[in-house]
Structure 1
Amino acid sequence: MDVMEDTARAEDEEHFEDAYDRIPTACDMDLQSAIQETQCALSLVLNNKFSEALDLLKPLWRDSMYHALGYSSILVMQAAMTFEQGDIQIAMATIKEALHTCQRFRKKNSVVGSLSSLISRQSNLQEEEMHAELCYAECLLQKATLTFVQDENMISFIKGGIKIRSSYQIYKDCHNVLNASGEPKGKSDSHRQFEGGVKLGMGSFNLMLSLLPQRILRLLEFIGFSGNREFGLSQLREGTSGSTLRSILCTLTLLFYHTYVSLVLGSGEGNLAEAEALLEPYIHKYPKGAIIQFYTARIAALRGHFEKACSGYQDCVSSQQEWKQIHHLCYWELMWTHSYQQDWPQAYRYADLLCRESRWSKAIYVYQKAAILSMMSVEDAEKTGEDLVELFRQVEGLKQRLAGKSIPLEKFAVRKSRRYKASSPVPLVLPVLEMMYIWSGFTIVAKRADCTEALLVTIEAAEERLAGEAQPSEFHVDDCCLVQMLKGLCLKHAGRLLQAELCFTHVLSSENRIRYDHYLVPFTLYELALLYRQQGDCTKAAAFMENAKSNYKDYSMESRLHFRIHSALNNLESSADASASNV
């Protein structure tokens, strides 16, 4: 309770700190013109004209809710990509004023939840006030995002959570208002814009919440959150149609879901056909747009067209020089795309660029660079002039803390790197392939039989080296189990299911002898469950997933596995429901 009281007090203090230092002027621009001008700014962003977009919005961002929303959105996007403290502070100051701008247009004394009482007398809610609720909710969401990355204490996380809840409640109220108004005979453009905003908000929230594992969702449902994946997807799909301000934002949300979220936090079943169809009109409209080029390359990579993907990422880098952060996204993808092909010198090149230029996570970048170096030939490694052991030893000192806690992936990298602290280090076995698995890279490599086979050769060579060790180290069993899990993955994707099952069961039978990498057992149970699902034994698949979910805890990357299990169990239930319907 003390924490909640402190948070409420901090919220009140923030309210007074944010008071105006000038008398706001009325905006001469009408609502429709403001929306159109903000759409123009968004179009400039998609054409790589980031400064021009800001220049267009800046004159009215303190007087027009849509200019305020657009202006703050661009700065928040930039801050989230750079992680530079200066950018974050500028964005936070901007968004606080943007919230004030939106507040002026909201219904007087409007508080979270008050919209519900207006449903029965919605004529009282003016057109401008309806849009103000939407803009306010979007700004609140942006502020919550920045709150999470700005301060490293739990109070900031709680404050961020309160803002997210307030935003969600406003979207629910707007959705109720929309439903209560019914379908007007001739929709005005303003109504379509409002409808598009509601679909973006409700779709994004429902999709995001549907990804959360059941144990987290149960807690959130207690305070009013609930998520339905199919409803979320349908809202976003409806939002992509037409030419409203939020159409492209609905499209980008769906693209991100299909090309990243479903792969990293799900069981790898993103809808690439839908992603390509959504992207197609924008490829023609913004052929040189960096954001569009990036997603085009990403889809090519997910299709297994690695050469085309590399070319696409390089085109994306060349297309603009203003936002270097987009370059860093491309470097990350280029590093992985070359790793899938085991082109280690090129993968190293992009890992090195990230180490030198990006501030996102120095610990992960240095670990990744060292891991790639360990996979290179002696001759290629010598050309880099790097000391492998020294690189691994740097990782721990680069670890960050967020809300007083370490980032799980950095924690994993630090723990693995400690093997190099000793005077006689014990080398890691296939560290790039291990990290590739954590990022769901084997699912991508599976699209290419030649690359899958090449990875299998590399894994079997490591297996032979371990078998030939004259004096096995304390890490020997862990290393053997890692190799067996990775080998099982390759065999599964190559269609050699019986051999894959033998590899996975070898890991499970060694459970009591694993000393450090305890994550291998629950992750292997999950992979074995997917194998049984592939064979059509859904009952056995569900049992193995429940075992991994319920009987293991406090291991590396635990949350990531729980996300994947949640997604896979949902897919199993959907398949069972579909089968029952057909019967």
Structure 2
Amino acid sequence: MLIGNDIKDAISLVWNNKFQEAENLLKDKSTISPRYSLHFAEIIFLRSFITADVKDTESALKRLKETRELAEKYISLLESNKTPPTYNQELKSKEEFKNNLLDCKLVLGDSLYMLAVLQLTRDHKIKGCFNLRKSWKTFEECLKQVKDTSSTIKYEEDLLECLHFGAGFFYFAMSIIPSNVIKFVELIGFKSDRDLGLQYIRDCSEKAGVRSAFATMVLLFNNLLLPRGLYNPTKHLKEAEVLIDDNLKRYPQGSLFQVMASHCYRKQCRVDLGLECMQRAIENCSALPKPPLIYSYELANCYLIKLDWSSAIGIFESLVKEENFQIRALCGLQLAGCYVMMGEPKKAQDAFTKIKDYVKKSSSVDPIILRQSQRYIANNGHFSAFEVMYIRRDMAKMERISAEKTLLELTKCAQQAGVEKPLACQANIGKNQPSTNSFFKSFSSLTKSKKDDLNTDNQIEDRASYLLLKGSVLKGIEKYEESMSCFEELMSIQHLLQDKNFYVPYCLYEMSESYFHRKQFDLSHDTLKKCNNHSNYDWEDPLKVKLRIIFDQQKKDGAGGGNQIDQEEEDQQEQPIIQSADQLENQMETLTVQE
């Protein structure tokens, strides 16, 4: 067997949070075997997502590059019918050569897409996209090798499972790439098939083999962390619950599955249970050489959902001291927002000011955070805490009691900002309305001082923020008429807002959801198109991913989607899993890049 029991034991240890024990099993052979090298690199790859530590990410990149180089070296030897010098015995039969060659190619494909994932998260878009392309071409070669009808070679089941997972992951990853990267992907010829990718990943998850846990984690990512668009999320949450329950029995110390359980509970409005899962996940990481900073961050956000600003502050204050924490700037932004909510404006201003020191050059998100912090310094950040919660979708679905508490807090913020009621400058909207934002400002500058202009601009933005946040909470508890009033007022003052703000596109999206729930499907679709026409605004990627998923749904359903969406979801659950390499090859041939 090319994937021996020691490798399978190491994989089980990793998913049970026993990273050091797993490394001890694999380390000796990691420099002489591509397969051992891959799983040795995977250990730090997974750990880097738990710690979110820059040094862990750099170590993962280093190990994956070493794996890639070793795999390429062995592929060259095996294609020349030479046994690699580190093998214990000479390969003699064609079947032995073919299985070993397939194994090395699969290792190469896996290492390339893992490299790409890390590079894309560090905003190295071009490197990431070309490694994705190389990964794709590698899996394509593997499929052709397995499909070869002139051969009677029997391939090991573990290898075929790895092939299905790799190809499925590739399909899936292409379908969720952020909008600021998609142009690079399209440029080099890729397309995507999210449903087919998920079919293969689901198949690997059910087989309980070498890629089962990885496949399950991808399914949970899809079910819990990706936006659902206009789908009813109930089926995805039920599937997630079953997967989490099964895997916690299999990996009782598996902190990653506890984290997913937390997300699942939060989406079901069972925040207290979600908080308990995060605490258990952190406890399960006590043996790690570095603290699970990303878990602490998620625990802080559980407290934010409960409006427990004080408990969240304690965690954020600790996290901003971690210089290598990849989302340190975001923690700083949320810390400052908590200070605002606790009535400590001086601490809030100091925290907003310090964010410039936390920004990392490798992050594509930190420049947005810096701009937002500067805006909050100017307008006192009345709604800053809730805006980040909104962007994270932590306000998307709340129990009625929690929603009502949130509405009360928003009202207090609006009163402090002086924007609880429509502003005086809104009085003449609709009558002699200025045609452009710049014209209005030029005209108003004749009658107002710069200080007055700044105060007015801040109040207009605060009013827009209040309307967006209040409307989204009302929509979440199905008060559609009241929420629509908020959204319509926001749209009526859009010409008064600063350029490139995110309030208008997000408002259009919220309106499209409201129209959909009121069964005004054509109006919902038209509003989505208007939303999609906006670009180059802060926090654009989360919304663009959501829009991409919705348009894909509507393309399958036809026209505006209508009430076919729920039925389509049921049909999707009943589709047979495509399992043969022949079928996968036929599907993937349609995506072949024209050389």
Q: Distance in 2 between matches of 1:349 and 1:341?
A: 15
- The correspondence for 1:396, drawn from 338, 341, 356, is 356
Structure 1 counterpart of 2:395: 442
Return closer, same or farther for 1:268/1:62 CA change in 2, 3 Å cut-off: farther
Following superposition, the deviation at residue 533 of structure 1 comes to 1.3
Root-mean-square deviation (CA, aligned residues, Å) is: 3.2
Q: Distance in 1 between matches of 2:487 and 2:311?
A: 32
Structure 1 counterpart of 2:440: none
* Residue type of the alignment partner of 1:354: L
Following superposition, the deviation at residue 234 of structure 1 comes to 0.5
Mean Cα deviation higher: 170-179 or 449-458: 170-179
Following superposition, the deviation at residue 45 of structure 1 comes to 1.2
Q: Distance in 1 between matches of 2:179 and 2:463?
A: 33
Mean Cα deviation higher: 42-51 or 411-420: 411-420
Is the Cα–Cα contact under 8 Å of residues 452 and 494 in structure 1 kept in the other structure? yes
Q: Does 1:135 align with 2:118?
A: no
Following superposition, the deviation at residue 437 of structure 1 comes to 0.9
Q: Percent of aligned pairs with the same residue? A: 20
Return closer, same or farther for 1:457/1:83 CA change in 2, 3 Å cut-off: closer
Return closer, same or farther for 1:439/1:125 CA change in 2, 3 Å cut-off: same
Structure 1 counterpart of 2:339: 373
Structure 1 counterpart of 2:370: 414
Correspondences of 1:15-414 after superposition (within 5 Å): 31-33=2-4, 36-79=5-48, 81-82=50-51, 84=53, 86-106=55-75, 108=77, 126-148=98-120, 157-179=125-147, 191-212=156-177, 217=182, 220-262=185-227, 269=233, 271-323=236-288, 327-357=292-322, 359-376=325-342, 378=343, 381=344, 387-402=347-362, 407-408=364-365, 410-414=366-370
* Residue type of the alignment partner of 2:142: C
Q: Distance in 1 between matches of 2:150 and 2:476?
A: 50
Return closer, same or farther for 1:279/1:533 CA change in 2, 3 Å cut-off: same
Structure 1 counterpart of 2:428: none
Is the Cα–Cα contact under 8 Å of residues 105 and 128 in structure 1 kept in the other structure? no
Q: Distance in 2 between matches of 1:329 and 1:447?
A: 23
Q: Distance in 2 between matches of 1:272 and 1:223?
A: 35
Structure with the bigger percentage of helix: 1
Following superposition, the deviation at residue 231 of structure 1 comes to 0.4
Return closer, same or farther for 1:287/1:81 CA change in 2, 3 Å cut-off: closer
Structure 1 length as normaliser, TM-score? 0.80
Following superposition, the deviation at residue 183 of structure 1 comes to 13
Gaps of 5+ in 1: 1-29, 112-121
Gaps of 5+ in 2: 81-93, 425-451, 569-595
- 1:337 is paired with a residue whose SS is helix
Return closer, same or farther for 1:287/1:302 CA change in 2, 3 Å cut-off: same
Correspondences of 1:483-562 after superposition (within 5 Å): 483-515=466-498, 518-550=501-533, 552-562=534-544
- 1:197 is paired with a residue whose SS is helix
Higher relative contact order (CA 8 A, sep 6+): 2
Following superposition, the deviation at residue 506 of structure 1 comes to 0.5
Is the Cα–Cα contact under 8 Å of residues 38 and 70 in structure 1 kept in the other structure? yes
Per-residue CA distance 1:207-265 (angstroms, 9 max, x = gap): 121224789657634523121111011111111122321111111111122221336x9
Q: Distance in 1 between matches of 2:150 and 2:383?
A: 59
Structure 1 counterpart of 2:448: none
Structure 2 counterpart of 1:426: 379
Return closer, same or farther for 1:172/1:535 CA change in 2, 3 Å cut-off: farther
Per-residue CA distance 1:286-314 (angstroms, 9 max, x = gap): 22222222222222222211111111111
Per-residue CA distance 1:48-94 (angstroms, 9 max, x = gap): 21111000001111222221111111123334554655444543443
* Count, aligned residues: 517
Is the Cα–Cα contact under 8 Å of residues 50 and 292 in structure 2 kept in the other structure? no
- 1:442 is paired with a residue whose SS is coil
Return closer, same or farther for 1:249/1:149 CA change in 2, 3 Å cut-off: closer
Q: Distance in 2 between matches of 1:528 and 1:255?
A: 28
Is the Cα–Cα contact under 8 Å of residues 69 and 135 in structure 1 kept in the other structure? yes
- 1:31 is paired with a residue whose SS is coil
Mean Cα deviation higher: 386-395 or 102-111: 102-111
